[in-house]
Structure 1
Amino acid sequence: TREALLRNTIVFNSTGFPAVSIPIGLTKDNMPVAVQMIGPPFREDKILAVAYNYECINNTGIKFMPPSPFTT
């Protein structure tokens, strides 16, 4: 649910500190693990740039992409 996705970042986002969670891998039980990054107040551009670069370098955007509902 939306609440589950926001519970770790909403405290920071509501106070002006942008926060983003990035998937970094899986546990031995195939449970997702993420890292949360918090940026300077009102600097979403910085935190999104860091998150984007991390995902590009580590291919996490591809590795954790949910399956498309349109594949057969």
Structure 2
Amino acid sequence: MIESPDYPHIVMAFTYRDFKVEIDQSEDHGQVVYAAWVSYEQGCAVAVPCVFSRNEAVWKAKQWCDKRTQEGRG
């Protein structure tokens, strides 16, 4: 059994193109870190595993979505 599980702490959620993006905030060794989870028609993925600002998490999540959209078109 995990003594202190790490539950998601979603601080922001938005739709970008056909993707639902959720920004998670947590702490690692006293440092606030962010991750971005993306849900879409085929499933879900961790688009951004770890960055140090919310803005960077949003920016990289959008890049991840843009790349998947471009791959699907062509």
Q: Which TM-score band applies after superposition, normalised by the shorter structure?
A: 0.3 to 0.5
Q: What TM-score do you get using the length of structure 1 for normalisation?
A: 0.44
Query: 1 or 2, which has the higher strand percentage?
Result: 2
Which structure is richer in relative contact order (CA contacts within 8 A, separation 6 or more)?
A: 1
Normalised by the length of structure 2, the TM-score is 0.43
Judging by fraction of residues, say which structure has more helix.
1
